[in-house]
Amino acid sequence: MTAVLSVASECAPLVKTGGLADVVGALPEALRPEGVSMRVLLPGYPAVLEALETGATAVMTENDLFGGPARVLAGRAAELDLLVLDAPHLYERAGSIYLGPDGRDWPDNPQRFAALSWIAARIAAEGIAPGGESWRPDTLHCHDWQAGLAPDYLAQMSGGANVRTVMTVHNIAFQGLFEPHLIEALRLPRHRFTTEGFEYYGRVSALKAGLVAADRLTTVSPTYAAELLRPDFGMGLDGVLRARRRALTGILNGIDETAWSPASDPHIARTYRLPARKRPNKAALQAEMGLPDAPGPLCCVVSRLTDQKGIDLLLEALPALLDRGGQLALLGSGDPALERALREAAHDPNVSVRIGYDEALSHRLIAGADAILVPSRFEPCGLTQLYGLRYGTVPLVALTGGLADTVIHASPAAIDRGVATGVQFHPVDAAPLAVALDRLCDLYARPDIWAQMQRNAMKQPVGWSVSAKAYAALYRDATAEA
């Protein structure tokens, strides 16, 4: 059995702000059949501590962890084997796990996540004894910048040489930058503050530290792995990744096929297995969202409202859908300017907008809509298009990242071969998106083609089985090199 310590700032269903949490929460169960035993190290946010089952025990302590005492609790919650960093001075606070009441990053985020990385490295170097039985990982798997300092810390510690490190980039736009005056206070070696180390344009980058120091690098789709080597996607780290391209692998994310199951979803009007059974869910969704019956496709969007997600492009291209009798139902929150623009667009009777987050409504939207729109400027993997495939909700996506890897474009050749699952557009701009929306309406007007695309979509593998095998092989290969 390969032992892996997975380190992350969030993990579904305990604490979640985005797709990172879904991946971290899904991997342990997905990897078990592949001979991988995984524990997850999380910060001791109030919600995580409250979820711990009775019997959690302290397995490590630190008297002064960047400003206060801390301990590591070993226990279980949500069917996960957890190690929880209980450090009240860092994590015992209400609201967002990353942002203060003013909507800005907590000022001590460098210390909060350096602490997580430091403890991860200590566990990897020293091991622990939960329940009296010694445990030490063969591989330390670090997710995003919040765990990015762990490989660097581990390299400083005696006992860490035989533990392999894997660094996964879920979104390179978030890099964990802080000022160099914190270097010594965060227990980092000053001599590593160079372009070959963790220096990034005069600041420290926690993500770069992980990309330079880890044995293996992964990201969440093959296309995104290739895109990161280019300046227009690499966010200033493309040179680092080009230098390490032989260590870089793209492994697609999967989804929880139990939570997202059209045959048993408790959030939708009724269960179904064939595309024809979507009609009751569509009618129920139109009623819930205040939309009339319409001749064109009902399209949904479930998204953060940011420029990355191409919401501004959708607003510009929206007339192409509405002019063909189509409709838009949107759920999301984010940029206040985009929220205002969407509320304005909702004055059209065929546009309905809900600002906020509602897990149950997201299921009903994806189950009831004819199509799901994902016009992202860049998308490392994307999960909503996978939910759409699972529910026979035809994805319209930008040709980028994981969207390119998971959707088969409805080209004439793909339609002739009966393999199309959705519509792609490129370049990622409003005019090509409008053309794609027009194409979507053309396909919807052909019930035979549309039904075939729905059936194709529902047959696509969207779970974790293939990706789990890839991660297990990566861990084994890395460990063999130790």
Classify residue 79 by its DSSP letter: T
Please answer whether residues 428 and 398 qualify as being in contact, where contact means their C-beta atoms are separated by less than 8 angstroms: yes
Helix axes 19-31, 465-480, angle to 10 degrees: 70
Rounding to the nearest 10 degrees, give the CA dihedral for residues 364, 365, 370, 374. Answer: -140
Three-point CA angle 245, 250, 252, nearest 5°: 175
The residue type found at 417 is R
Write the DSSP assignment of 246-279 as a string of letters: GGEEE------TTTS-TTT-TTSSS--SSGGGGH
The two tokens of residue 303 are 């998204």
The two tokens of residue 386 are 């996978």
Beta strands in 170-215 (DSSP E): 177-178, 199-200, 203-205
The C-alpha atoms of residue 389 and residue 253 are separated, in whole angstroms, by 14
Q: What is the pairing mode between strands 199-200 and 80-86?
A: unpaired
Secondary element (H or E) of residue 451? helix 447-459
Please answer whether residues 302 and 375 qualify as being in contact, where contact means their C-beta atoms are separated by less than 8 angstroms: no
The C-alpha atoms of residue 34 and residue 179 are separated, in whole angstroms, by 42
To the question of whether residue 469 is assigned a binding role by annotation, the answer is: no
The C-alpha atoms of residue 17 and residue 291 are separated, in whole angstroms, by 29
If one counts every other C-beta atom within 10 angstroms of the C-beta of residue 181, the result is: 8
Quick one: which of 307, 362, 280, 377 has its CA closest to 329? 362
Annotated binding-site residues read: 16
Annotated binding-site residues for ADP-alpha-D-glucose read: 16
